[in-house]
Structure 1
Amino acid sequence: MFQLLETFTTVYEEQNFTKAAKKLYISQPTISVHIEKLERDLGVKLFIRSGNNRIAPTKAADFLYEKAKQMKNNWSNVLSELSRLDGTLRKKFKIAASQTIGDFLLPQILKPLKIQFPYVDFNFFIENSNRVFHSVHMLDADIGLVESPEIVPGVKREIFMWDEMVVFGAAENKTWIYREKGSGIRDYMDQYLLMENIQPEEKMIMNHNAMIHQAIELGLGRTLQSKFVTHSKHVPQEKTSLNRPFYLITSEQNRNLDLDLKESIFKLLAELK
């Protein structure tokens, strides 16, 4: 069954039998046999075939893909934990974080974290908040750290800190620089402009904090950012009344989550100023 699910998830991601076969180093007829057997075993149609090797996943395939990814990641965690208990492998722990938290907060806790858990190899992924929620939900990450107030079924969230929002850039500049939709800061930017009855004459959208940072340094516009973001002294800044929570999120499906490790990360982050 694991082999069939591996074939299925690859076909689903590639949306093409030939590409899936190349990725798995098996023949295309074998791919077809695996998918047909899985469809017979489950009693559902997974893909609609059309010309030119094109396929479209069914609703059953959408559902199965999510569950199969979770099963795969859970099984990987089980194998990792068993190997660690046997003394043959170090434990892996995956943390997905939105950009502000990943850029400015996570580096501050790495040293004490490594001292407390010397047997753990940490993997970090910096993404926007929507992608972090997705990674946690699919068990691609053990925990997530986000700025977005989004509520996702099956994902638990805990506030570890309140952040203060600051406007950077000269007041006479009429250009406002936004993050892309799906980022944690974007929702608060929209909220702030609405509260202050500001209708930007010009807008720029950037999908990375480093680019926004450089644009502000060059005087290209104004933006709303965390108090943890640092700019040169010549950049004007204005405190706002807007605060936002930072969340640690976990999946309710992650039954192999190391709770001691998760609680230690929560505590270390909560102690930051």
Structure 2
Amino acid sequence: MLDFRLQVFYTVAKRLNFTKASAELYISQPAVTKHIKELEASYKTSLFERSGNKKISLTPAGEVLLQYTDKLLDIYRELEYDMNTLIDQHKGILRLGASTTVAQYVIPPILAQFHNKFRDIKVQLIPGNTEEIEQALLSKEIDVGIIEGVAHNPQIKYEKYLKDELVLVSAANNASIKKETIKPEELKNYPLLMREPGSGTLDVIAHALKPHHIKLADLQIEMQLGGTESIKSYLLHSNCLAFLSIHSILKELKNGECRIIDIKGLSIERPFHFIQPHGQPSSLAELFTCFARNYKL
């Protein structure tokens, strides 16, 4: 088990707030302070800078300790996972739903390794857009899902899985745009390809544009297509632009087929979420989510 003092340090370092750390760890604030002081005495250095307005920040030594604590936590999670899988014999069918980007570009290598480790588990992968995967979960057609988009359905438990970034993409030979950077309002000047209604990607784009007072209705949407591959294929043969997951265009970027257009002051990051019904998850769903979290992409 990881030294509890390091767990306390890790929580404080991530929250940069002693009060929030004490609430999260279910210990008193003086106890949090005591554990941090013990670590600082052990390493003979300060781990946090404390300012007059009660704000704290990591010292250089604190940054180093955080990096090592991150690695130690990963090792302990892997150790716990591998010990548990030695005890339990897992078999059966896992019904996994995944939204389009995840199903095409993220999950296949993870499933390959999962199959190598658990030969007696058969995985049924059901792709769809975010709305469809959520509905499949509520209809009990799948055991667990991985979706993109904003968490909003109170009947579903959402847990963050991975970070993704949506970038504005153009074909490398697109003659209509020579700029490497545009302002958000300039998006209105170019034809755009978008995903279909119900897509998590579409929701995330609309949410990101809102602070810039831009609605989807303000844009020149040339066409809405039901998948990333369709958008990429159309994009590479047109003068359109499109917002695409960075995971989905790695090969095209490497081959020089497309390029990224930066948008000043606009960064669209989104988490992929595991989704499950509230309550105790099925043993296979829990096994898979744990495996996927430990998998190094």
Q: Do they superpose with TM above 0.5?
A: yes
Task: Classify 1:220/1:166 alpha carbon distance in 2 versus 1 (closer, same or farther; 3 Å).
Answer: same
Aligned residues: 183
Q: 1:262 aligns with which of 282, 289, 292?
A: 289
Q: In the alignment, what sits opposite 1:184?
A: 200
**Which secondary structure does the structure 2 equivalent of 1:134 belong to?**
helix
The unaligned stretches of length 5 or more in structure 2 are 1-88, 178-188
Q: CA deviation at 1:254?
A: 6.4
Q: CA deviation at 1:152?
A: 1.6
2:235 counterpart of 1:216: yes
Q: CA deviation at 1:217?
A: 1.1
Q: In the alignment, what sits opposite 1:141?
A: 142
Task: Classify 1:255/1:168 alpha carbon distance in 2 versus 1 (closer, same or farther; 3 Å).
Answer: closer
CA contact (8 A) 2:150 2:204 kept: no
Q: CA deviation at 1:227?
A: 0.8
CA contact (8 A) 2:228 2:248 kept: no
The percentage of aligned residue pairs carrying the same residue is: 19
Cα distance in 2, alignment partners of residues 186 and 195 from structure 1: 16
Aligned amino acid, residue 92 of structure 1: I
Q: In the alignment, what sits opposite 1:248?
A: 274
**Which secondary structure does the structure 1 equivalent of 2:198 belong to?**
coil
The unaligned stretches of length 5 or more in structure 1 are 1-86
Q: CA deviation at 1:139?
A: 1.6
Q: CA deviation at 1:195?
A: 4.8
- Is the deviation greater in 146-155 or in 258-267? 258-267
Cα distance in 1, alignment partners of residues 223 and 169 from structure 2: 15
2:249 counterpart of 1:233: no
**Which secondary structure does the structure 2 equivalent of 1:219 belong to?**
coil
Q: In the alignment, what sits opposite 1:117?
A: 118
Aligned amino acid, residue 249 of structure 1: I
CA contact (8 A) 2:228 2:244 kept: no
Task: Classify 1:160/1:202 alpha carbon distance in 2 versus 1 (closer, same or farther; 3 Å).
Answer: closer
**Which secondary structure does the structure 1 equivalent of 2:247 belong to?**
coil
Task: Classify 1:115/1:220 alpha carbon distance in 2 versus 1 (closer, same or farther; 3 Å).
Answer: same
CA contact (8 A) 1:164 1:243 kept: yes
Cα distance in 2, alignment partners of residues 266 and 154 from structure 1: 23
Q: CA deviation at 1:247?
A: 0.4
Q: CA deviation at 1:167?
A: 0.5
Q: In the alignment, what sits opposite 2:219?
A: 200
Q: CA deviation at 1:163?
A: 0.9
Aligned amino acid, residue 218 of structure 1: H
Cα distance in 2, alignment partners of residues 235 and 195 from structure 1: 28
Question: After the TM superposition, which residues 160-179 of structure 1 pair with which residues of structure 2 at under 5 Å, given as runs?
Answer: 160-169=161-170, 170=174, 172=177, 174-179=190-195
